Amino acid sequence: MADFSTTTAFGLVRRIGAIGESAPGMYLLICERNDIEAVRADIAVEVGVQCGTEILSLEVPPLSLDDLLEAPRIDGRTRITLLVLRRWDHKLVDSIDRNVVLLTRESPVLFLADLEIAERTLAAAPNLRNRLADILVIRPEILGV
């Protein structure tokens, strides 16, 4: 596996904010399985503080592609979408790969997964892989440092 840059939620959202949270883009975020909830919470806080908007955080599975495509437009507001990939779902990853252009129409999409799921996703989804703005290792914010 290649070495990827390491960031925190602050750095990630700062990067997204620099290009605009309404600009499409996709990021694959890799973290330790035990850190997923902490990273998810950190991203939500930083999106609120830095972008002044909400994050739409969804669990994959049980999400379907139709749910995913409709989710950012529920109330007409632009939101950053965070997809937490906790288990391998070949059918959904294949659907995302075939419809990757549709995912980035509205706003940034962040995929959060552990290393195993990230590697499987990258191997199984060449269209998604080619559309990623970046692949980053993300760590929880450490308070008091």
- Tell me, what CATH number does 75's domain have? 3.40.50.300
Which residues, other chains included, contact 56 with Cβ-Cβ below 8 Å and sequence gap of 6+? 71, 72, 79, 80, 81, 82
Between CA 27 and CA 119 the distance in angstroms is: 14
How large is the average pLDDT for residues 23-34?
A: 89
How large is the average pLDDT for residues 62-85?
A: 69
Which residues, other chains included, contact 75 with Cβ-Cβ below 8 Å and sequence gap of 6+? none
pLDDT band for position 96 (50/70/90)?
confident
Look at residue 145 and tell me if it is in a domain.
no
pLDDT band for position 69 (50/70/90)?
low
CA–CA distance from 131 to each of 26, 45, 96 (Å)? 7, 26, 11
Place of tokens 């049980």: 62
Look at residue 144 and tell me if it is in a domain.
no
Look at residue 65 and tell me if it is in a domain.
yes
Q: Give the highest mean pLDDT range of 53-57, 59-63, 80-84, 141-145.
A: 80-84
